[in-house]
């Protein structure tokens, strides 16, 4: 598996990371703890050494499962551990933004405990808080780094303007944003910013919540509180547009590379920027098997342009990931 320095200071990780929002059970309607632990413990065998989680996934459960899996397998030195902060939740499951110093200080200690580690490799501000000056948030992150509790500072879902303001206080090592073949909004703003500042990009939603897996069909239903019930891409008539694009992309991948659409989607993402890391959500160990199809080939500029034309030709009413944003506090 390809690796990159994730913070510009010797912290190396695989360019494909395991995103544990699926394991947390908050976004995808439940989880099997034993299966989740096997998935995490099997990730390094597939070359996946970056594990990304957050306190809000399962309201602490995802971090606890990740910590348990790593501790039981004694694999802490094999992985780069990334988590987040600056979201809070109540007893009814309501989630709100809170990027105050007090909240971040508490979350750092809570995450260290749940993850069963002495240091978090990458801590990311999960969402910007419109009620808190980004510089106050940056000061809290810098304090955690100076105290040796975190190794690298990241922000997630920040605009270039917010990142620039944050950067006046603390260097941003990592920016995490939604990015995939169907959600390319950051091409216009965030991607130029991270290139200019040599910042690492963690792309979440790399397979667009399973749309780019090649396993979706028009009659697919999503149980319970599955996030996709609220994603406009999975509602008709848009759903058929995206599925048609997937079929065309799959045909292109097979004809030109003897690959499938899933392989193409991840390869496209990694080839957009040398310091991109693609987060791959998996519930079971076998869902990581396809990772082996990503290294060893690349897409040239002509291929990337044609892929963009295929998407634009089929998806005539595109929609971004805006629906995922949690509310601010009252």
Q: Which residues are catalytic?
A: 57
Q: How many CA atoms lie within 13 A of 191 on its CB side?
A: 18
Measured CA to CA, the distance from residue 54 to residue 7 in angstroms comes to 19
User: What's the first-to-final CA gap in the chain, in angstroms?
Assistant: 45
Q: Give ∠ CA 323-329-330 in degrees, rounded to 5.
A: 110
Alpha carbon of residue 200 to chain centroid:
13
Measured CA to CA, the distance from residue 307 to residue 304 in angstroms comes to 5
What is the SS3 assignment for 310? helix
Residue 118 burial by CB count (10 A; 0-12/13-18/19+): exposed, middle or buried?
exposed
Q: How many CA atoms lie within 13 A of 212 on its CB side?
A: 25
Residue 181: closest CA among 298, 277, 289, 315: 315
Sign, CA dihedral 253-15-276-160, equals: positive
Residue 131: closest CA among 103, 93, 154: 103
> 84 and 55 in contact (C-beta within 8 Å)?
yes
């Amino acid at each position: 598996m390809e690796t990159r320095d994730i913070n510009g200071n010797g912290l190396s990780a695989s360019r494909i990371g395991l995103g544990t929002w699926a394991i947390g059970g908050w976004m995808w309607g439940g989880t099997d703890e034993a299966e989740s632990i096997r998935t995490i413990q099997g990730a390094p065998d597939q070359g996946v050494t970056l594990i990304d989680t957050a306190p809000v996934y399962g309201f602490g459960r995802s971090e606890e499962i990740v910590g348990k899996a790593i501790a039981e397998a004694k694999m802490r030195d094999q992985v780069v551990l990334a988590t987040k902060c600056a979201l809070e939740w109540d007893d009814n499951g309501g989630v709100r933004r809170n990027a105050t110093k007090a909240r971040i200080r508490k979350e750092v200690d809570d995450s260290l405990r749940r993850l069963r580690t002495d240091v978090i490799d990458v801590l990311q501000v999960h969402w910007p808080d419109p009620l808190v000056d980004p510089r106050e948030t940056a000061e809290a992150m810098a304090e955690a780094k100076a105290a040796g509790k975190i190794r690298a500072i990241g922000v997630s879902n920040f605009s270039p303007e917010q990142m620039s303001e944050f950067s006046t206080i603390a260097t941003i090592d990592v920016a995490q944003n939604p990015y995939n073949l169907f959600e390319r909004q950051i091409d216009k703003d965030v991607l130029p910013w991270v290139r200019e500042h040599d910042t690492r990009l963690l792309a979440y939603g790399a397979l667009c919540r399973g749309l780019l897996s090649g396993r979706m069909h028009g009659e697919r239903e999503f149980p319970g509180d599955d996030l996709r019930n609220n994603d406009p891409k999975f509602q008709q008539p848009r759903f058929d547009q995206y599925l048609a694009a997937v079929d065309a992309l799959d045909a292109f991948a097979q004809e030109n590379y003897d690959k499938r659409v899933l392989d193409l989607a991840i390869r496209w993402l990694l080839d957009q920027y040398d310091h991109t890391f693609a987060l791959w959500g998996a519930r079971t160990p076998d869902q990581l098997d396809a990772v082996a199809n990503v290294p060893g080939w690349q897409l040239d500029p002509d291929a990337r342009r044609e892929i963009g034309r295929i998407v634009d030709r089929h998806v005539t009413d595109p929609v971004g990931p805006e629906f995922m944003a949690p509310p601010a506090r009252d």
